[in-house]
């Protein structure tokens, strides 16, 4: 062997982007494997290669008790490695381990008890070259598979673009990612989507498995991360951090809701996601094959957030319980079906987006339940509904919960009525109380985007309705339940957009 061979091996390491020395070690293992096939070979031997490319084979002699101990330790390491491979790949290993295949740790052998003998065979070059070639090729394949696995295992939850190759067993789809071939299982496909051979699709990497034939990448089209990434690609404000997606709730193939918030003054998060004439969100809808998307302004107040999350339905009032994370939403009679959605889809998405358990009732249902609670017992005229007894200047009853031990909430004007009542003075709840009116809600609507029904899925234009009128803000909250008005008298009677 010459120096040119060593230099060629190291050049091959650089070309394949392999770790330095890995092919030289493979060459050394190949020469040792070739020696083990020769007649009269010793069980314990090592191969040494110098910088000039010359190699020598040395047999190692040691005491019997040390040999037995080292073989037992090497056998345990080999069995542990097989168990690890079985756990990672899920495939049962049936490899037969012999003592000749075990790698002994020579550092544990005392130098004064180990004797080395040069046993390099004559005319060893041709056999060694052929064996070394096979070992180097195998080591290159293993190193490339490991590099590929390490590359993709760090990209889990990342969205990638691939080309559909063909449908595999049980309707699984093979997707070419360039370096590897990924799998889109049937369970991760969206109902109603068709994946034609040669078409480009975007999907989320959900899992990377290490296999004997290379890494196996598992993709998903149902993951909510797909919507986040698509909006990051289409909306510069999200990529720059000016607008943030705070939550995503998705029913793949049917409808999705995203909550957005702005971190820069003057930037409308909903308008930024919709884009001019709906161009930005239309691209996302096209990639999702016509899936409807509701863009909701995120709010720190749960009552307001819940009211917006039930878009496109108009909400009259929201009562929340912070301890149980439950909310009762009151909607006009004509908005009840819209708020619940087909098979409860709209209410289910709103609950996922906000993290609250939502109970939707019509105004008639809520009034009947409140009247029944008030009639449950007690003296005549006593109210058991738990709401404040004060009447606002607009003629409506205060929606806030009453404080414990009183019939009024914590608003200063209403608390004054509670103090008068405690002193034994007569209190007229029906008298309008100045300063107790519900504050008007600050601006911020929601947008609903869906593909036009007369166009093919994924190719048709998306309709972007104009934002709905701003809803009214709830008055200051008290302990226990909190209520928020979501509209005014005149507006609530109007049909929804």
For residues 225 and 202, the answer to whether their CB atoms sit within 8 Å is no
Domain membership flag for residue 362: no
- Measured CA to CA in angstroms, residue 327 lies from 388, 400, 483 at distances of 18, 14, 10
Please classify residue 490 by burial: count the beta carbons closer than 10 Å to its beta carbon, then call 0-12 exposed, 13-18 middle and 19+ buried: exposed
Compute CA 337 distance to the chain's CA centroid, rounded to the nearest angstrom.
31
How do 173-176 and 159-167 pair as beta strands? antiparallel
428 phi and psi angles, rounded to 5 deg? -100, 105
- Helix (H, G, I), strand (E, B), or coil: what is residue 401? strand
- Final residue before a domain boundary, out of 151, 176, 198: 151
> Are 13 and 128 in a shared domain?
yes
* DSSP symbols for 246-300: EEEEEETTTEEEEEEEESSTT--HHHHHH-GGGHHHHHHHHHTTS-EEEEEE--S
Is the same domain home to 147 and 16? yes
Domain count for the chain, please give it: 2
Q: Are residues 37 and 119 in the same domain?
A: yes
Question: Does residue 207 belong to any structural domain of this protein?
Answer: yes
Q: Kindly state whether residue 374 falls inside one of the protein's structural domains.
A: no
Q: 204, 220, 236: which is the final residue of a domain?
A: 220
Q: Are residues 91 and 20 in the same domain?
A: yes
Q: CB of 312 within 8 A of CB of 336? A: no
Is residue 229 in some structural domain? no
> Of the candidates 378, 251, 257, 356, which has an alpha carbon nearest to the alpha carbon of residue 313?
257
Which domain CATH number covers 183? 2.40.50.140
Whole-angstrom distance, CA of residue 138 vs CA of residue 237: 49
What 3-state class would DSSP assign to 6? helix
Return the minimum-mean-pLDDT range out of 23-37, 158-172, 376-390: 376-390
Full-model pTM:
0.59
Q: Tell me, what's the pLDDT at 50?
A: 75
Q: 374-413 burial by CB neighbour count: b if 16+ within 10 A, else e?
A: eeeeeeeeebebebbbbbbeeeebbbbbbbeebbbbbbee
Q: Which of 55-64, 87-96, 280-289, 447-456 has the highest mean pLDDT?
A: 280-289
- Residue 10, pLDDT > 90, answer no
Q: Number of H helices and number of E strands within the chain?
A: 14, 17
pLDDT for residue 298: 94
> 141 or 43: which carries more pLDDT confidence?
141
The Cα-based distances of 380 to 336, 370, 383, 407, 455 in angstroms read 33, 15, 9, 15, 62
How far apart CA 196 and CA 410 sit, in angstroms, is 62
The answer to whether the bond into 296 is cis (omega within 30° of 0) is no
pLDDT of residue 411: 82
Token couple for 282: 């239309």
Q: Tens digits of per-residue pLDDT, 64-119? A: 777 777 777 777 777 777 777 666 666 665 555 555 556 666 666 666 667 778 88
pLDDT value for 90: 60
Together in a domain, 116 and 192: no
CATH at residue 29: 3.30.1480.10
pLDDT digits (tens, 9 = 90+) for 327-383: 999 999 999 999 999 999 999 999 999 999 999 998 888 888 766 655 544 443 445
Residue 247 has pLDDT above 80, yes or no: yes
Q: Examine the domain organization and report whether 123 and 210 are in the same domain.
A: no
Picking from 151, 180, 201, the residue at the C-terminal end of a domain is: 151
Asked if residue 36 and residue 176 are part of one domain, the reply reads no
Domain residues for the domain of 68 are 3-151
42 and 161 belong to one structural domain: no
- Adjacent-strand bridge partners of 256: 250, 293
Say what the pLDDT of residue 61 is.
Answer: 78
> Looking at the structure, do residues 159 and 126 belong to the same domain, yes or no?
no
Do the domain assignments include residue 237?
A: no
pLDDT at site 369: 75
Residues 164 and 106 in one domain: no
State CA 242 to chain mean position distance: 21
Residue 206 and residue 216: Cα distance in Å, rounded?
Answer: 11
pLDDT of residue 430: 45
State the DSSP code for 166.
Answer: E
Answer whether 385's CB lies under 8 Å from 373's CB: yes
Q: Evaluate whether 451 touches 457 at the Cβ level (below 8 Å).
A: yes
Reported confidence tier of residue 12, pLDDT bands at 50, 70, 90: confident
pLDDT band at 445 (very low <50, low <70, confident <90, very high): very low
pLDDT tens, position by position, 130-170:
777 777 778 788 888 888 888 888 888 899 999 998 765 56
My answer on whether 12 and 132 are in the same domain is yes
In a domain, 363, yes or no: no
Q: Considering the domain boundaries, does residue 437 fall inside one?
A: no
DSSP 264: S
Looking at the domain assignment, is residue 391 inside a domain? no
Extended strands (E) in 275-332: 292-297, 317-321, 326-331
pLDDT at residue 100, as a whole number: 54
How far is Cα 68 from Cα 489, in angstroms, rounded to an integer? 92
Q: Which of 67-81, 234-248, 284-298 bottoms out in mean pLDDT, i.e. has the lowest? A: 67-81
29 lies in the same domain as 161: no
Question: Phi, psi at residue 234, to the nearest 5°?
Answer: -95, -25
Query: What mean pLDDT value characterizes the chain?
Result: 75
What's the pLDDT at 391? 78
pLDDT on residue 47? 81
End-to-end alpha carbon distance in the chain: 83
């Amino acid at each position: 062997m010459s120096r040119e061979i060593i230099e060629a091996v190291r050049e091959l390491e650089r070309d394949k982007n392999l770790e330095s020395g890995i092919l030289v070690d493979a060459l050394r293992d190949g020469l040792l494997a070739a020696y083990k096939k020769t007649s009269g070979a010793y069980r314990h031997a090592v191969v040494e290669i110098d910088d000039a490319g010359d190699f020598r084979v040395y047999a190692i002699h040691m005491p019997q008790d040390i040999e037995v101990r080292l073989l037992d330790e090497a056998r345990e390491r080999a069995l542990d490695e097989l168990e690890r491979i079985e756990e990672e790949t899920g495939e049962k290993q049936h490899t037969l381990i012999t003592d000749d295949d075990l790698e002994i740790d020579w550092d544990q052998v005392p130098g004064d008890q180990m004797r080395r003998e040069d046993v390099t065979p004559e005319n060893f070059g041709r056999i060694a070259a052929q064996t070394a070639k096979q070992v180097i090729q195998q080591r290159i394949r293993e190193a490339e598979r490991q590099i590929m696995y390490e590359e993709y295992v760090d990209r889990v939850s990342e969205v990638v673009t691939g080309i559909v190759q063909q449908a595999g067993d049980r309707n699984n789809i093979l997707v070419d990612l360039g370096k590897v071939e990924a799998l889109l299982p049937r369970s991760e496909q969206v109902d109603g989507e068709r994946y034609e051979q040669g078409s480009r699709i975007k999907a989320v990497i959900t899992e990377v498995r290490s296999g004997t034939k290379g890494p196996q990448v598992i993709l998903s089209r149902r993951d909510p991360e797909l919507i986040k990434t698509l909006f990051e690609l289409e909306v510069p404000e999200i990529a720059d951090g000016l607008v943030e997606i705070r939550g995503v709730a998705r029913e793949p193939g049917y409808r999705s809701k995203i909550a957005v918030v702005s971190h820069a003054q003057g930037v409308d998060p909903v308008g930024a996601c919709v884009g001019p004439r709906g161009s930005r969100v239309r691209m996302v809808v096209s990639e999702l094959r016509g899936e409807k998307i509701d863009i909701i302004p995120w709010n720190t107040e749960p009552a307001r957030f819940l009211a917006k999350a039930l878009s496109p339905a108009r909400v009259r009032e929201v009562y929340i319980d912070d301890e149980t994370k439950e909310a009762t939403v009151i909607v006009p009679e004509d908005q009840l079906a819209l708020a619940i959605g087909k098979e409860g889809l709209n209410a289910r998405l709103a609950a996922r987006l906000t993290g609250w358990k939502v109970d939707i009732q019509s105004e008639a249902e809520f009034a009947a339940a409140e009247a029944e609670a008030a009639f449950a017992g007690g003296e005549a005229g006593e109210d058991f509904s738990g709401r404040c007894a004060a009447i606002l200047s607009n003629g409506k009853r205060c929606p806030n919960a009453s404080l414990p031990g009183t019939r009024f909430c914590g608003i200063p004007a209403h608390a004054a009525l509670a103090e008068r009542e405690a002193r034994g003075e007569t209190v007229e709840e029906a008298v309008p109380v100045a300063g107790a009116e519900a504050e008007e809600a600050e601006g911020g609507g929601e947008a609903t985007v869906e593909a036009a029904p007369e166009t093919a899925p994924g190719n048709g234009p998306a309709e972007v309705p104009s934002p709905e009128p701003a809803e009214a803000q709830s008055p200051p909250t008290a302990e226990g339940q909190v209520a928020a008005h979501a509209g005014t008298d005149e507006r609530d009677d109007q049909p929804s957009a």
